[in-house]
Chains A and B, each alone.
Chain A
Amino acid sequence: MPIPSRFFWYFLALVTLIHVQFNMGSFWLLVGASVAIGCLPIRGVRWWHYALLSLCSLLCCMTLKFPEAETLSILTAVSQLPAPLLIGLTVVVTAITVTLTSYTSHLLLACSFYPPSLWKR
């Protein structure tokens, strides 16, 4: 059976990331999900594809539930970081985690999971 097109896998990866980030409060689940995403049989993938995926998923998560103003103001006061920097840092740290983990798992695991015939298609 031929594997679905890469757009299917990207969509699946995006939904997985959104689900994990939106509903599951665990850093290690995010890492696990990123490893799983890296193992998806997507051909010709580049590291920045995963970066884009993570940014898109974060955008969706924040669109679905943007931080409440009161939360934001207290956090900025407590951490002494301006709100844009606070959100920016969160985006950057999350995106780096997802990108590095998924791309590394792709390099190390994905190629060996699938028969070359499928991989080359």
Chain B
Amino acid sequence: MKKLLFFVLTMAWLWAAQQNWGSLPVLARFFTWPTSPLKIDQRFDQSERFKQSPYGPVSVGYDSLGIPHIFAENDEAADYAIGYVHARDRLFQMEMAVRVVKGQLSEVAGERALKSDLFWRKFQFDSLAVTWYRGMADSVPELAKRMEAYAAGVNRYISRLSPATLPLEFHLLGIHPTEWKKENMFYLLRFMSHILTYNENDLAASEVNTRIGPELTSFWYPHTTRTPHPIYPNFSLNDSIMQGLLPRVDESMDLVGGHLYPQARVVNLDDTPLGSNNWVVRGSQSASTFPLLCNDTHLEIALPSTWYEIHKSVGGQIRRGFSIAGSPFVISGFNNDVAWGMTNATWDLVDFYSLEVNQEGTHYRLDGVWVSLNPFTVEISVKGAKPVSKTFYHTHFGIADTLAGRYLAVNWIGQHPSNEGLTFLGFEKARSLAEAQAALQHYLQPPQNFVLADRSGHIGGVTAGGACIHPLPAKGIRKGSRRDQLIGFTRMQGYLNSVDPPSDYWHSANQEQVDHPLAAHISTRYESSGRGRRITALIDTLPPLDFDGMRQLHMDVVDMDYPILREILLDVSGPMRVYLEGWGGQMDTALVAPTLLYSFKNHLRNRVVAYLGGGKRLPPLEQHIFTVVATDDSVPVGGGRQLSSLELAREAWDSSQADLKSRLGKDPATWLYGRFHTTLVTHRLKLPALGIPEFASPGSNRTVNVASHLPSTHAASMRTIIEMRPDGPRAWLHLTGGQSGRFNSRNYSDQVRTWLEGGYHTFRPVATFQDTDYVSTYRFDR
């Protein structure tokens, strides 16, 4: 009896220890000493020497910022080492990116991740990536070998993990890292493509159209901006080429009423700028007479950072810059001969097609014939709940889902095969701007404005990637009833490029590429041209540019909406005018005027949205609102009514003042921008203990040094200044956040303060591994 009792008790205990109890982590993982996170220590940072490297000897030295300096004889050995150091510093981030795209997040995060999994699983990337990798192995074996070496490096690190070195996040979720597969880079590309290109704005636009009517829509949501400042100012296109680019489709929009898609993923770039800045000047504009190239990418500033800085020397050839954990390539940076950077092209790359489906829900009408919907069902495992299954459909227009009782197919650039690895492989090996430009011919997504410079003194820009050139600029849901209504993606690098421009500089800041009807067929919601205009003005007016000039540009916090709104703001500000007179739009933390401007802008936009009676989730672009209010005497607000612009501005001012009083107190002298505008750097799991307390920060959503939102969560996630000299590159770099994803690393968040202060670290060319001192090292011997 005693034996039986203890046997039952033991079995019950072992079972109970494997379960989740309430919010407690799994007992067997979290609360037993052998696997306890209490064992986590600094062992991950110890120098080590390994006897066997399958790809040849390689040495890795970490500097005080946690940047690995990798010296190898061949690319595969270097990639093996990069895989190892990426895994050491960013393993959880890599695991999550793959889980997200494979739709396996709910397995570890429970029901709150179900929406994400339902979105991703329909694309079936887990099987597509394997197919794409096999195709790549056949067509570009060199690239496949490098992916293999990288995966081997990641897995070498995973195989050596112990509870003391396993990243905390794995302990918290009670999971172990999954084996890194060679094809995982494709998931990473889709992950980035989703961040930069995916939105469901067409669903919201469809609602806006039906709510406010065509007249108000055409006024408040114009297809082109009134104040263009294009990236390619001298662009021209032969009419016949333009006609050739436009699909020959008699396109029609499917207008529906009501608020049907409350869950749509609307991305409003005014709130969450995912854009960036880059610019390059020729030697004629620089103090040193050599080209200078700069880049800062605006992404969510979270811990760990999106970027990971690496320096590799392969057979004496340098590749330095910012990589993304999960890929061995330098995405923005330089080699001995060429420098490159990028900004997002902000194109409309998602189309929804409404299908006519029979009553049984088995077929849809295509070219007048009923065609099978080809259903497939996905089953998603959910931690702590029953598995969820959902049926989707393969259609001519893409994967279809049922939304609000309708069958909508989505055509997103991310679901199309592409291999951007070829571009970055080409960049790393390019010896001239022309070779870098040739590498860009392979590029499809996410479309980017690439900036280039080489050490021969050439500079240029290329907008590379696939554009969905719509027959009509109108936004909304398209009818999908004929095969030819499906709009494909056209690579634009052959049309949008400029090498050695006559102005001797080139820049982009996510604004429209061209002042030409083509722009509206590609997208109708570019970012404001304000940053671009400011960069132009500064390059034109600053003395010959050097590091200090470039830094000044990166750190510039003049709000470019202010010149537009200045007069009307002075008109309505009454006694508060004293704070605005003589102010030039600098969004500094120690001033009151920026608070008045930022709050006024928000309230002006909200007033317009309120008058339009809807469309709050997809408001008109701020640049357009501010321009019409500043230049038109009156604006239409519905019901055939015109409202005086001055009256609208006064209403916005009054409500902004009331808002500021309630938030910051009655004394305007204390409304310093530093109290109003803060930055929040959180951990990616949103665990407060792993984030940084909010801090005051300058800038706004319309300054070159972007700091959007209240509190700001998106800003420059890295900065580069690269000078391409004939004797090799000189560079100054900065990564926002820190190199390490480990909370107990000295490099977890050590570069947040330097980001705020505009600090950089200097790149010093080092010929061999022995030429400098390191904090810790890894040596992989043959």
Contacts and interface: CB of A to CB of B under 8 A. Distances in A.
Interface in A76-115: 77-79, 86-87, 89-94, 96-97, 100-101, 103-104, 107-108
Interface stretch (B27-35, B54-62, B619-627, B630-638): B27-35
A65 interface: yes
A71 B33 contact: no
Contacts of A87: 38
18 contacts: A29-B34, A58-B33, A67-B39, A77-B689, A78-B687, A78-B689, A79-B25, A94-B34, A97-B13, A97-B14, A97-B17, A100-B9, A100-B13, A101-B14, A104-B6, A104-B7, A107-B3, A107-B6
Interface string B561-596: 000000000000000000000000000000000000
B162 interface: yes
A104 B687 CA distance: 41
A44 to B, nearest CB: 15
The 3 closest A-B pairs by CB, nearest first: A77-B689, A25-B163, A93-B31
B690 A74 contact: yes
Nearest to A47: B6
Given A27-B17, A27-B32, A89-B31, 6 more contacts: A25-B164, A27-B34, A30-B34, A74-B743, A90-B31, A104-B9
Interface in B655-709: 687-690
Contacts of B34: 20-21, 24-27, 29-30, 94
Nearest to A73: B689
Nearest to B25: A79
A103 B687 contact: no
Contacts of A86: 38
What DSSP secondary structure best describes chain B's contact surface?
helix
B647 interface: no
A72 B743 CA distance: 12
Q: Which of B6, B17, B38, B166 has the most CB of A within 10 A?
A: B38
Contact of A68 (B3, B13, B744): B744
A17 to B, nearest CB: 10
Contacts of B41: 65, 68, 71
A45 interface: no
Contacts of B163: 25
Nearest to B161: A25
Nearest to A101: B10
Contacts of A96: 13
Nearest to A81: B24
B161 to A, nearest CB: 8
B226 interface: no
Nearest to A67: B38
B425 interface: no
B174 to A, nearest CB: 11
Interface of A: 20-21, 24-27, 29-31, 58, 61, 65, 67-68, 70-72, 74-75, 77-79, 86-87, 89-94, 96-97, 100-101, 103-104, 107-108
Interface string B312-330: 0000000000000000000
A72 B6 contact: no
Secondary structure at the A interface, as helix, strand, loop or mixed, is helix
B163 to A, nearest CB: 4
A35 B236 CA distance: 80
Given A27-B28, A93-B27, A107-B6, A78 B172 contact: yes
Nearest to B13: A100
A77 B687 CA distance: 9
A116 B41 CA distance: 48
A92 B32 CA distance: 8
B35 A25 contact: yes
A108 B38 contact: no
Interface residues of B, number: 37
A37 B185 CA distance: 47
A97 B743 CA distance: 30
Nearest to A91: B33
Nearest to B42: A68
B36 interface: yes
Contacts of A79: 25
A61 B32 CA distance: 12
A25 B31 contact: no
A94 B32 contact: yes
Contacts of A30: 32, 34
Nearest to B687: A78
A59 to B, nearest CB: 11
Which of A65, A77, A79, A92 is the most central at the interface, judged by chain B CB atoms within 10 Å of its CB? A79
Contact of B744 (A58, A65, A71, A78): A71
Nearest to A102: B10
B690 A78 contact: yes
Interface string B1-24: 011001101100110010000000
Contacts of B14: 31, 97, 101
B694 to A, nearest CB: 17
Nearest to B172: A78
Contacts of B690: 74, 78
Given A25-B162, A107-B2, A74 B744 contact: yes
Interface string B197-240: 00000000000000000000000000000000000000000000
A75 B687 CA distance: 11
Contacts of A91: 33
B499 interface: no
A61 B689 contact: no
B6 A103 contact: yes
A93 to B, nearest CB: 4
Contacts of B13: 96-97, 100
A92 B25 CA distance: 15
A97 B35 CA distance: 13
Nearest to A25: B163
Given A74-B689, A74-B690, A100-B10, A93 B32 contact: yes
Nearest to B3: A107
B37 interface: yes
A80 to B, nearest CB: 9
Contacts of B37: 71, 75
A103 B9 CA distance: 11
Given A68-B42, A87-B38, A104-B6, A21 B33 contact: yes
A82 B9 CA distance: 29
Given A26-B34, A68-B42, A93 B25 contact: no
A92 B17 CA distance: 12
Nearest to A26: B34
Given A27-B17, A97-B17, A72 B38 contact: yes
Contact of A97 (B2, B25, B32): B32
B518 interface: no
A100 B32 CA distance: 14
A24 B161 CA distance: 11
Contact of B32 (A75, A90, A107): A90
Given A21-B33, A100-B9, A104-B10, A93 B17 contact: yes
A87 B17 CA distance: 17
B357 interface: no
